[in-house]
């Protein structure tokens, strides 16, 4: 039997944890390094930091924020947001990330998944899929929920396979994570 893991996700903007609904109305919710320290002490298994505006602002996730968080952890750290290339992934890893999480780039450039898996190992590459329930199907979105992906708009939660990549998915409400 598989053991359950607790993975916390911090949405970050401008170096601060933010809370909002569907990436809108974002308000500050604290310092990511302080929250990471608390989660680490409380016994979570992994932490994910998503820089929710990096892709929209056409920049990398903030290396300083990644480094400050990584210094507080003794558990795996995954980082997403603004990772569009091998160089962007390398910058996140060099700043302290153990894993990189792709969304928009995985949809627009699926070969990047393979490139990064070959460089860092498949355990270090996560594909996060933002999906919104649309009746009996899910619509897949990119760019922090701003754009529906043409040619990849439908994900069948009953079939547990993405129509494009064929990966197995874990569905949690409106966000799905692909496991490769």
Contact 19, 29 (CB under 8 A): yes
Phi, psi for 117 (deg, rounded to 5): -65, -40
- Other CB atoms within 10 A of residue 135 CB: 6
Catalytic residue among 51, 88, 98, 130: 130
* 86 contacts: CB under 8 Å, gap ≥ 6: 112, 115, 116, 119
Active site residue 130: yes
Q: Has 136 been annotated as catalytic?
A: no
| Catalytic choice (11, 51, 88, 98) | 11
Contacts of 53 (CB under 8 A, 6+ apart): 13, 14, 81, 144
Q: Known catalytic residues?
A: 11, 130
């Amino acid at each position: 039997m598989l053991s359950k893991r607790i993975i916390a996700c911090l949405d970050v903007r401008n170096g601060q944890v933010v809370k909002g609904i569907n990436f809108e109305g974002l308000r500050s919710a604290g310092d990511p390094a302080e929250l990471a320290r608390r989660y680490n002490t409380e016994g979570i298994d992994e932490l994910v930091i998503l820089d929710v505006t990096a892709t929209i602002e056409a920049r990398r996730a903030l290396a300083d924020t990644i480094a400050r968080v990584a210094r507080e952890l003794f558990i795996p750290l995954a980082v997403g947001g603004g990772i569009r290339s091998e160089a962007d992934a390398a910058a996140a890893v060099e700043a302290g990330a153990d894993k990189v999480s792709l969304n928009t780039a995985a949809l627009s450039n699926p070969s990047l998944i393979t490139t990064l898996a070959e460089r860092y190992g498949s355990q270090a590459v996560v594909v996060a899929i933002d999906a919104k329930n649309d009746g009996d199907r899910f619509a897949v979105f990119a760019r922090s929920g701003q754009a529906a992906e043409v040619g990849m708009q439908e994900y069948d939660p009953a079939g547990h396979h993405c129509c494009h990549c064929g990966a197995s998915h874990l569905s949690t409400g409106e966000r799905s994570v692909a496991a490769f």
